[in-house]
Structure 1
Amino acid sequence: MTVTNTESRKIIVFQVHGEEYGVDVMRMQSIERVQTITRLPGVRPDVTGVLNLRGKITPIIDLSRRFGYEAISFDRQTRILIVAGEEGNVGLLVDSADDLLDVPASDIEALPEVNDDENFYYFHGIAKINHRLVTLLDIDKVL
């Protein structure tokens, strides 16, 4: 999706390991409370398992593990962001999700090239929102 300087983007803001991230609302299907997740043997460590969401088996990725941190500890704030992927919906396990923001395209900048860490691959920009910086997730690269 090409964004001109006069357009804005709606993003869902969520937290992982104490940092704020955002995902384009157009990729969101729903935000769910944590439900029973069935573990699968032999999958990557960041794949928590699958859940039965309204009759569909949905894989769940722990974004904290994907980003190289410890697994998310479930509490009442923990959420699963259901996002549309190329091959179906996927759940992203996050610490919390609490904001829907309208961000002018002029407030979105490319990531600085300060690190060659493979985790930078998952992001496509930073939104400047008042005094906050929200790192924007590239869903296709995460999935």
Structure 2
Amino acid sequence: MQVLTFSLEGSTFGLPTSVVGEVIRMPSLTGLPGAPMGLLGLMNLRGRMLPVVDPRFWLHIESENPLKHVVVVVGEGESMGLAVEQVDSIIETAVHEDVPDMVDERLKPLISGYFQTERGFVFVWHSHGPYFLWDLMHQAGEMLS
């Protein structure tokens, strides 16, 4: 499997390249009043407005590291931006298709498998993982209303 790896607060994660449209530097974002927590705003990508989410909110990662890149995730008929601190590389690797017990409960619904590098474990998100975050943010916003 080909996996795009990215970093959040020292942890490395991956997304199948089959759902990655492109990677761009963090653009200017348009904020939305009343937006769910974790939604950074909207970005204009060649005339299309895409929501950009900060996964650190849902993962309870408190970090002062800047979000430098947006991974444009392409789903069936929809796209969104996943803000990350660093994009590392594209790796062709075998992925173990299970979730180790050491994975935090908040992460388990996002993870489809893992592989190991010389720097440690890389947890690979389901192709729908970013959309799952988006759904959770909407639910959290509705609960706060």
What TM-score range do you get, normalising by the shorter chain? 0.7 to 0.9
Partner of 1:122: 110
C-alpha separation between the residues in 2 aligned to 1:93 and 1:136? 16
Change (3 A) 1:141 1:111: same
Change (3 A) 1:101 1:115: closer
In structure 2, stretches of 5+ residues that fail to align are 132-145
User: Displacement of 1:41 after TM fit?
Assistant: 1.4
C-alpha separation between the residues in 2 aligned to 1:116 and 1:98? 22
More strand by percentage: 1
CA contact (8 A) 1:127 1:133 kept: yes
1:101 aligns with 2:91: yes
C-alpha separation between the residues in 1 aligned to 2:85 and 2:11? 10
Equivalences, count: 131
> Where do 4+ consecutive residues of structure 1 move more than 3 Å?
113-116
User: Displacement of 1:45 after TM fit?
Assistant: 1.1
CA contact (8 A) 2:27 2:43 kept: yes
User: Displacement of 1:87 after TM fit?
Assistant: 4.3
CA RMSD of aligned residues (A): 2.0
Greater CA deviation, 89-98 or 125-134?
A: 125-134
Superposition pairs of residues 10-21 of structure 1, within 5 angstroms: 10-21=2-13
CA contact (8 A) 1:109 1:127 kept: no
Superposition pairs of residues 1-143 of structure 1, within 5 angstroms: 9-70=1-62, 73-74=65-66, 78-105=68-95, 108-114=96-102, 117-130=105-118, 132-143=120-131
C-alpha separation between the residues in 1 aligned to 2:55 and 2:113? 17
C-alpha separation between the residues in 2 aligned to 1:71 and 1:49? 19
Q: TM-score, normalised by structure 1?
A: 0.81
Deviations 1:25-44 (A, max 9, x none): 01000000011011111122
Change (3 A) 1:73 1:114: closer
Q: TM-score, normalised by structure 2?
A: 0.80
Identity of aligned residues (%): 21
Change (3 A) 1:98 1:115: closer
Tell me the SS of whatever aligns to 1:119: coil
